[in-house]
Amino acid sequence: MLRVPASFRVAAASRAVTSAVFARHTPVLQGGLRRAYSSAHEEESFEAFNERYAKFFDGVDEVFELQRGLNNCFVYDMVPSPEVIQSALKAARRVNDFATASRIFEALKEKVDSEDQYKQYLEVLKPLKDELGVLTKEELGF
């Protein structure tokens, strides 16, 4: 069994009252210590979010990076702009991953608020979609 140094036990005891509320929601590290997450980060604007992910997808050169970036991008409460989706589709074509390109549209359909909004995205992305030969799930017959 790992022994926790006395200095950690003293520090933990002094924070016991404040950290008791968060203790159930933070992962336990080896030795019984808990990881503390900081909530002191700034809110990111929609424009900064889109710029960051468009730039990220422009630099993607392997499937793992593309899929990781898409997972991170779609986890936010924001729907990515068409420019971000275009960059992601180009990255999927660059790494030759047709399945992920089709899944981008599936994720987009789940993320938007309404069917009309999804149709607007399809309309805006149609030229690139046709150029790259990407089909949606519905066009594939599923």
Looking at domain 46-132, does it have CATH number 1.25.40.40? Answer: yes
Going by C-alpha positions, the residue among 82, 76, 79 that lies closest to residue 54 is 82
pTM (predicted TM-score): 0.69
Q: pLDDT tens across 24-67, in order?
A: 444 554 555 555 555 555 788 999 999 999 999 999 999 999 99
Per-residue pLDDT at 8: 45
State pLDDT tens for residues 1-21. 445 555 444 444 444 444 444
Q: How many CA atoms, within 13 angstroms, populate the side-chain half-sphere of residue 57?
A: 27
Q: Which tokens hold the place of 17?
A: 């009252």
Q: Report domain extents, the chain.
A: 1-39, 46-132
Give Cα 141 distance to the centre of its chain: 28
| pLDDT above 80: residue 137 | yes
pLDDT at residue 83 above 70? Answer: yes
